[in-house]
């Protein structure tokens, strides 16, 4: 799971994206305001902040650096561009692979006991 957080004046916004199952979610002050499945290289979410101002998230992978980038716009003005490097993506994938291996070994062990 990859997470991008940003503080506006009174709002904490967060975009969470799973790089394995394609689920993306946007939270404003802990409340989910957008959710979608995305298996492509980019996506976009448009939400409203507590103040009623529109906020847009653009999520994509830079093909040159392989970094995951989240651009946040408020009232169609770029506020910030947050990046997570290849290392974060690799750590997330390794953790998921480890969990799958443990589950598979446990399942095989249970079948052998029966």
Cross-strand pairs, 74 = 55, 77
pLDDT of residue 88: 52
- Residues 62, 41 contacting (CB under 8 angstroms): no
Where residue 101 falls (left for φ over 0; alpha for ψ -120 to 50; beta otherwise) is: alpha
Q: What letter does residue 14 receive in the DSSP assignment?
A: E
Contacts of 45 (CB under 8 A, 6+ apart): 15, 24, 26, 34, 36, 56, 57, 59
Residue 22 to residue 105: CA distance in whole angstroms = 26
The predicted model gives 63-88 an average pLDDT of 82
Summarize pLDDT for 14-50 with one digit per residue, the tens. 998 886 778 899 999 999 999 999 888 889 999 988 8
For residue 60, the surrounding DSSP H or E stretch is strand 54-61
Assigned CATH class of 2-86: mainly beta
Percent of the chain surpassing pLDDT 90: 27
- Residues 28, 49 contacting (CB under 8 angstroms): yes
If one counts every other C-beta atom within 10 angstroms of the C-beta of residue 15, the result is 23
Mean residue pLDDT of the chain comes to: 82
Residue 56, class by beta-carbon neighbours within 10 Å (0-12 exposed, 13-18 middle, 19+ buried)? middle
């Amino acid at each position: 799971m990859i997470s991008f957080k940003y503080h506006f004046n009174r709002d904490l916004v967060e975009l969470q994206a799973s790089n394995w199952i394609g689920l993306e979610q946007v939270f404003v002050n802990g409340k989910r305001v957008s959710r979608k499945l995305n298996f492509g290289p980019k996506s976009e979410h448009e939400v409203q902040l507590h103040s009623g101002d529109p906020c847009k998230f653009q999520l994509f992978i830079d093909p040159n650096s392989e970094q995951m980038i989240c651009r946040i716009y408020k009232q169609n003005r770029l506020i910030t561009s947050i990046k997570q490097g290849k290392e974060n993506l690799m750590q997330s994938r390794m953790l998921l692979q480890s969990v799958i291996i443990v589950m598979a070994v446990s399942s095989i062990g249970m079948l052998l006991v029966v």
